[in-house]
Structure 1
Amino acid sequence: MASDQDQFQLASSQINQEARLPRKYTQEGQGAKKNISPPLEWYNVPQGTKSLALVVEDIDVPDPSRPIVPWTHWVVVNIPPTLKGLPEGFSGEEEEVGGDYAGIKEGNNDWKVPGWRGPMLPSHGHRFVFKLYALDDELHLGNKVTKEKVLESIEGHVLADAELLANF
């Protein structure tokens, strides 16, 4: 059994012990800052990882016809395993950032637009799961990347996954 020090982990310097998502990462915003993607970092990427994929969901969205349907806030694929994280405000900037970030692709969230979209009222009290997958291959999903496409194409390719929970 791997010890905690060896385990694949996902963290954020901005999501504190109470796991609160700061307002600048939400649609409500904090001063001039609003809807900024939070910084993320990861540790102990498994050997053999060819790419990383990230899916962020609100797991407490009620649906009138069904009890809970997770709402997708962010999908990011083909993150090089050599990277140690994504900087704050990365979403929407991948072309400008370039370099090691150049091959990364942001998929559509459940608002049908690419990139990070933070929570807003009436979502207070909801839990957000940031889930990072270490994959043994790169994903080739065409132009329109969605959570459904990602989850379908990673089947059988996940070496490990790491989760970070935040509350809004």
Structure 2
Amino acid sequence: MASDGSNEFRVVSPHIDHEGRLPRQYMGDGQGAKKNISPPLEWYNLPEGTKSLALIVQDIDAPDPSGPIVPWTIWVVINIPPTVKGLPEGFSLKGEEMGGDYAAIKEGQNDMKKHGWDAPKLPSGGHRIEFKLFALDDHLHLGNKVTKDKVLEAVDGHILGESVLLAKF
């Protein structure tokens, strides 16, 4: 897919349009019966020595009820094997049933205190959704309660590469 000859580590989603918009079906209020589905992601050019990948997805324009903008965690995914080249649409909470290398992937808690993808219902558009993918030199051993804060602490000193995809909603 890299026609520009770039060998930069990057994450992309084939469903984000040319204006960088994430379709409604991936958000909490959705599009008819289709809503809150984890979007498909693909990544390219993993750094040499990558043993696992970790993904944190946040709404980086979420207002806190008390005023300031505070990133809202939508999805936390760890221990993605480097043999996996992406996550298919609707992957969230289906890793074990998909089997193979997908079975090793662990999803953590989002800011709704739920496992898996859980996008907010947004009162308006104009929010940016950040997909941050970390290539790591190790696997993460975080026990049962995997959160964004635990992941960010655990990846410190183990990051071989980092790629960010921004989408608008």
Q: Same fold (TM over 0.5)?
A: yes
1:164 is aligned to: 165
Shift of 1:26: 1.0
Written as runs of structure 1 = structure 2, the 5 A alignment for 1:69-88 is 69-88=70-89
- CA deviations on 1:73-94 (whole Å, 9 max, x unpaired) are 0000000011110000000111
Give TM-score scaled by structure 2 length. Answer: 0.94
Question: Are the structure 2 counterparts of residues 4 and 61 from structure 1 closer, same or farther at C-alpha, using a change threshold of 3 Å?
Answer: farther
1:25 is aligned to: 26
Looking at structure 2, the residues matched to 126 and 4 of structure 1 have their Cα atoms a distance apart, in angstroms, of 31
Shift of 1:66: 5.8
Matched position secondary structure for 1:41? strand
Looking at structure 1, the residues matched to 26 and 111 of structure 2 have their Cα atoms a distance apart, in angstroms, of 17
1:99 is aligned to: 100
Shift of 1:38: 0.1
Looking at structure 1, the residues matched to 65 and 87 of structure 2 have their Cα atoms a distance apart, in angstroms, of 35
Which piece of structure 1 moves more, 7-16 or 118-127?
A: 118-127
Shift of 1:31: 2.5
Which piece of structure 1 moves more, 117-126 or 107-116?
A: 117-126
1:15 is aligned to: 16
Looking at structure 2, the residues matched to 53 and 38 of structure 1 have their Cα atoms a distance apart, in angstroms, of 16
2:150 is aligned to: 149
Matched position secondary structure for 1:75? strand
Give TM-score scaled by structure 1 length. Answer: 0.94
2:68 is aligned to: 67
**Residue-pair matches, total:** 166
- CA deviations on 1:51-75 (whole Å, 9 max, x unpaired) are 0000000111122546221000000
Looking at structure 2, the residues matched to 45 and 100 of structure 1 have their Cα atoms a distance apart, in angstroms, of 17
Shift of 1:95: 1.3
Which piece of structure 1 moves more, 23-32 or 111-120?
A: 23-32
Shift of 1:29: 1.5
